[in-house]
Amino acid sequence: MYIVIIGAGSIGSNLIDLAVDDGNDVVVIESDEERANEVSAEYDCLVLNADATNHGTLQDAEIDRADAVISTTDVDAVNIMVMLLAQEHDVPNLVSVVHDPDNLPVFEKIGVTLIENPQRLIADYLYHSVRYPNVSDFVELDDRTELVELTVTEDAPMNGQVLSTAQEKGRLPEGCLVVALERDGEVQAPKGGTTIRAGDTVTVFTDDATLSDAVAAFTSSQ
């Protein structure tokens, strides 16, 4: 893919790392000269030290070739302007961070894929890391539900349990659903007859009310 990334701050730099490492053609537009030089020295990508809201800058980035434009600056007005300009060039994928919820309608009208309030996402992740240290990863789906990734321990109530009967036996909380399982390096879709084993990595759909019980079911004895 040909990806144009706007901003090389904390969010943008991590995105650059992922995109370049995955073999994409990446162009970075960064207005801060020092930061632009750092990215240029570290990554195999084109870096433009320029203003991304300038139409000429986007032309220099060959935006007409872009499969996606991702704006990561900490100023919503800049992100909106970049998205509008990219839309004029019929870029198929427009993605932006949004810091102020009041600006969401503007981004939605443009047709942008939104990453809402990235600072809150980071805060949520840090809180989960402290509150549930056995959770290796999580995705918050909305205000009440999320996906969590857990590695099953030897003393966990779910170790050795068949999924179809686990809730009847009181081992798996109501409202908790195992949606994926990784075993011996292979990911599989669990079925009713699947037996959970210690060492399995499971992805569990749960709501906030049962999150603690779900974590306890797969990672510790009751």
Looking from the CA of 165 toward its CB, the CA atoms found within 13 Å total 7
List of residues 6+ apart from 98 with CB closer than 8 A: 76, 79, 104, 107, 114, 115, 116, 117
In this model, does residue 67 exceed pLDDT 90?
Answer: yes
Q: Is-above-0.75 flag for pTM?
A: no
Residue 119's pLDDT band (cuts 50, 70, 90): low
Residue 134 burial (C-beta neighbours within 10 Å; 0-12, 13-18, 19+): middle
Return the closest-CA partner of residue 6 out of 31, 33, 25, 23.
31
The whole-number average pLDDT for the span 59-67 is: 96
The whole-number average pLDDT for the span 53-57 is: 94
The whole-number average pLDDT for the span 166-171 is: 90
The whole-number average pLDDT for the span 146-168 is: 92
Where does CATH 3.30.70.1450 sit in the chain?
122-219
pLDDT at 11: 86
Tell me the sheet residues that pair with 115: 97
> What CATH code would you report for 122-219?
3.30.70.1450
Where does CATH 3.40.50.720 sit in the chain?
2-116
pLDDT at 121: 65
In this model, does residue 29 exceed pLDDT 90?
Answer: yes
pLDDT at 17: 92
pLDDT at 135: 78
pLDDT at 68: 95
Between the alpha carbon of residue 67 and those of residues 12, 23, 25, 104, the distances in Å are 17, 14, 10, 23
pLDDT at 127: 66
In this model, does residue 94 exceed pLDDT 60?
Answer: yes
The whole-number average pLDDT for the span 192-213 is: 90
Pick the CATH number of 2-116 from 3.30.2010.10, 3.40.50.720, 3.40.50.1700, 2.60.120.260: 3.40.50.720
pLDDT at 222: 45
Residue 144's pLDDT band (cuts 50, 70, 90): confident
List of residues 6+ apart from 57 with CB closer than 8 A: 29, 48, 50, 51
In this model, does residue 159 exceed pLDDT 70?
Answer: yes
DSSP 100: -
For CA atoms 95, 100, 101, 107, give the dihedral sign.
negative
List of residues 6+ apart from 150 with CB closer than 8 A: 134, 135, 136, 201, 202, 204, 214, 215, 218, 219
The whole-number average pLDDT for the span 39-52 is: 96
